[in-house]
Amino acid sequence: MRVAFYAPLKPPDHPVPSGDRRMARMLWRAIADAGHEPMLAARFRSRARTDNPVRQARIAAVGSKLADRYIARVTRHPQRRPDLWFTYHLYYKAPDWIGPRVATRLAIPYVVAEASLAKKRREGPWHLGHQATVDAIARAAGIIGLNPADREGVLEAIASPDRWLPLKPFLDRAPYLAARAARETTRRELAERWRLAPEMPWLIALAMMREDVKLDSYRLLGSALSLCKEKPFELMVVGDGPARTEVERALAPLGARVRYLGAMPENAVPPVLAAADLCVWPAIGEAYGFALLEAQAAGVPVVAGRAGGVADIVADGTTGLLTPERDGGGFAGAVAALLDDGTRRESLGRAAVERVAAEHDLGAASRRLDEILRAVAAPAP
């Protein structure tokens, strides 16, 4: 089956790494592993950075033009005509202005993975994007739910709850298992390169640096870890972005304990994660946190805020500790407890590896996606 693949927020071949790009790439790979042919339908990024209705209308107009161009192109080249349209991640700031139009004109199934609806956006300056998302969800033959927190809102826009098709976030475990096996070697190399103390617990935070809930999380991380300064630890920060200065300011109270490793290519992330002792991320406004899944695949326990679908990724008390969202004191207490207990950290890390294998494996996800795509593409009886 030829599958037209589109990610309005960030295409899978975008040069800037992020959890969203990682999940887009994993979905692409899972579709291919299932024996289908994913084809990149567009690189158009529909995210509106402000709530300016005029700007949103311009983005919508561009999307419509691109849809018409795509239709004309596949009409001229029938061998590239898709059998199904697959859109990954849409919400009111990044609606799909292309897929529904193409799917209707070509009379092919339209499928969405990870969609969210916010009731408060029904009115006001974001109304256009919200309504486009409602329309796309209503048009979809299936909504693949990666985040269970989205289910309630999405159900209001679809004709039948059967169209909600759950799928846990997933990854290829192999690079993380290999990194875990080479942990001691990597740890020595990182200690030498970044002047880290091997005898201390290493904390790690992996996230883009931008002016939104990511920066809010960095700020809470800085204030929470400041409450733990009597404990021995060093912090590795993986990521970069336009809010780098603000992030450095937020973490400044930690002084020389912080190492900024910068943005990394995807293949460099598993070894650095595996070398750490504890992944720490407040997860404010997080959908589910792909980096938290990566850390656990590498055998690293997690302390995170209980936001969105994070609890579906991190098993509280089993693979890590969850604290109320935006609760700096609770977050600091959880980090301190695990800094004091290396045996428990190791136990949580082992459980994390086992849970990722059981519930977040690429092979199982590929089989599930194959089942979903074939079901929605099957002719009605």
Q: Which residues pair with 112 in a beta bridge?
A: 87, 143
- On whether both 242 and 310 belong to a single domain, the answer is yes
Count of the separate structural domains present in the chain: 2
- On whether both 141 and 161 belong to a single domain, the answer is yes
- On whether both 68 and 146 belong to a single domain, the answer is yes
- On whether both 138 and 222 belong to a single domain, the answer is no
* Exposure class string for 160-183: b at 16+ Cβ within 10 A, else e: eeebbbebbbbbbbebbbebbeeb
User: Stretch 56-69: mean pLDDT, rounded?
Assistant: 96
Q: Residue 118: its pLDDT value, please?
A: 84
User: Stretch 75-86: mean pLDDT, rounded?
Assistant: 96
- On whether both 166 and 201 belong to a single domain, the answer is no
CB-based contacts of 92, cutoff 8 Å, min separation 6:
117, 118, 121, 126, 129, 130, 133
- On whether both 69 and 147 belong to a single domain, the answer is yes
Summarised one tens digit per residue, pLDDT across range 165-184 is: 999 999 999 999 999 999 99
Cα 161 to Cα 196: distance, rounded to the nearest angstrom:
51
Contact status, residue 320 vs residue 301, Cβ threshold 8 Å: yes
- On whether both 335 and 241 belong to a single domain, the answer is yes
Summarised one tens digit per residue, pLDDT across range 303-327 is: 999 998 999 999 999 999 999 999 9
Cβ burial, residue 102 (10 Å; 0-12/13-18/19+)? buried
* Exposure class string for 249-264: b at 16+ Cβ within 10 A, else e: ebbeebeebbbbbeee
Q: In the predicted model, is pLDDT for residue 379 greater than 80?
A: no
- On whether both 190 and 321 belong to a single domain, the answer is yes
Contact status, residue 180 vs residue 321, Cβ threshold 8 Å: no
Cα 25 to Cα 43: distance, rounded to the nearest angstrom:
14
CATH number of the structural domain spanning residue 35: 3.40.50.2000
Considering Cα of 75, then 76, then 77, then 78, what sign does the dihedral take?
positive
Summarised one tens digit per residue, pLDDT across range 343-377 is: 999 999 999 999 999 999 999 999 999 999 999 98
- On whether both 152 and 222 belong to a single domain, the answer is no
Which stretches within the chain are classed as H helix?
Answer: 19-33, 53-76, 99-106, 127-139, 151-155, 174-181, 183-194, 213-226, 244-251, 269-275, 290-297, 310-313, 328-339, 342-359, 362-377
Q: Residue 170: its pLDDT value, please?
A: 96
Q: In terms of residue numbers, what domain contains 201?
A: 174-359
Quick one: pLDDT band at residue 14, thresholds 50, 70, 90?
very high
Task: Indicate the average pLDDT of the chain.
Answer: 95
Q: In the predicted model, is pLDDT for residue 248 greater than 60?
A: yes
Quick one: pLDDT band at residue 381, thresholds 50, 70, 90?
low
- On whether both 158 and 190 belong to a single domain, the answer is no
Residue 273 main-chain phi, psi, to 5 deg: -60, -45
pTM confidence score: 0.91
Cβ burial, residue 36 (10 Å; 0-12/13-18/19+)? buried
- On whether both 265 and 301 belong to a single domain, the answer is yes
Quick one: pLDDT band at residue 380, thresholds 50, 70, 90?
low
- On whether both 255 and 296 belong to a single domain, the answer is yes
Summarised one tens digit per residue, pLDDT across range 198-244 is: 999 999 999 999 998 999 999 999 999 999 999 999 999 999 999 99
Q: Residue 120: its pLDDT value, please?
A: 85
CB-based contacts of 100, cutoff 8 Å, min separation 6:
110, 135, 136, 139
Quick one: pLDDT band at residue 264, thresholds 50, 70, 90?
very high
